[in-house]
Amino acid sequence: MTDLLIMPAPSDPRLTRAVSGIDHNGEAQEIRVVEERPLTIYLNSQEIVTAMTIGDYPEYLSVGYLRNQGMLLPDDVITRVDFDEEVETVVVRTERKTDYEEKLKKKTRTSGCAVGTVFGDMMEGLEDVKLPATPLKTSWLYSLAHQINTMPSLYLEAGAIHGSVLCREDVPLVYMEDVGRHNAVDKIAGWMMLEGEDAGDKIMYTTGRLTSEMVIKTAMMGIPTLASRSGFTAWGVEIARQVGLTLIGRMRGKRFICLSGEERLEWDADVSAVQDEPKKSARKGKV
């Protein structure tokens, strides 16, 4: 787990602050809470969006956001990425001249934490997506779930945050966290684009729900598998089936559910050796 290229930094003082309060017993308590900062993203001379973020890896977040919104093309040459901490702004500069005034008028508000946005024509970009039929071993899923769920993280330190992890087979590579799972995925997309990382042999693991936007972003990145401890939305499943994305949810202990791309699964794990988690009662509901 210490071999991750990027891993959570729960001890970074910039990401949380101490806040005093009163607990259920009326006693004074001090806890760590996650910071939120605005980050304004420009593409060349055009202001695109202001996102709320914990503030780490602003360059990766900006490039990934633009890539996942279809504003940066796969063959775009990025000449500079400038972050001004004082005004909390990132400017991404490209060789290609860009103008997305019309695109910016077509936004769809999404259900994600920290309010993500999907531009109205993103679905059109999915028509050309062809994901590789990369095999997925069930042993990898169990190994990844154990490693990620026991890894030190900002979530365990302060809560109120989501994580996304880029993996290859059973090896976590890049672990990003943010107040919105969409931001965490965008950071990974930015890292992949700036580092020239191939997507065809990767797995995306997220701590949040498998929504339409999560599916769209993962597919647009070219990653063939998306997995989570959490559950699904119907539209997320529909889009995953449309683009051929392997979609794994409700990963708890021995159990998981695959609602798309099941033909890629290789059942190689010894399930008897996997420690199970207690089932929740129907009254408490399901994730």
Domain residues for the domain of 261 are 136-273
> Is residue 72 situated within a structural domain?
yes
| Distance of alpha carbon 38 from alpha carbon 55, whole angstroms | 8
pLDDT in tens, 234-263: 999 999 999 999 999 999 999 999 999 999
Sheet holding 225-228, edge to edge: 171-178, 162-168, 202-206, 225-228, 246-252, 255-260
Residues 145 and 245 in one domain: yes
> Is residue 42 situated within a structural domain?
yes
> Is residue 66 situated within a structural domain?
yes
> Is residue 5 situated within a structural domain?
no
DSSP for 223-269, please give it.
--EEEESS-B-HHHHHHHHHHT-EEEEEEETTEEEEEE-GGGEE---
Residue 273, pLDDT score: 84
Residue 186, pLDDT score: 96
Residues 202 and 260 in one domain: yes
Residues 94 and 200 in one domain: no
Token pair for 97: 């001249």
Residue 123, pLDDT score: 63
Band of residue 22 on the pLDDT scale cut at 50, 70, 90 = very high
Number of domains in the chain: 2
Average pLDDT over residues 91-109: 82
Exposed, middle or buried by CB within 10 Å (0-12, 13-18, 19+), for 25?
Answer: exposed
Residue 257, pLDDT score: 97
The whole model's pTM is what? Answer: 0.87
Token pair for 224: 């063939």
Helical packing angle, 212-220 and 58-68, nearest 10°: 90
Cα radius of gyration (the chain): 19
Band of residue 283 on the pLDDT scale cut at 50, 70, 90 = very low
Residues 156 and 112 in one domain: no
Residue 272, pLDDT score: 85
Output the average pLDDT for the chain: 88
Band of residue 286 on the pLDDT scale cut at 50, 70, 90 = very low
- What phi-psi label fits residue 227: left (phi over 0), alpha (psi between -120 and 50 degrees) or beta? beta
CATH number for the domain harbouring residue 158: 3.40.140.10
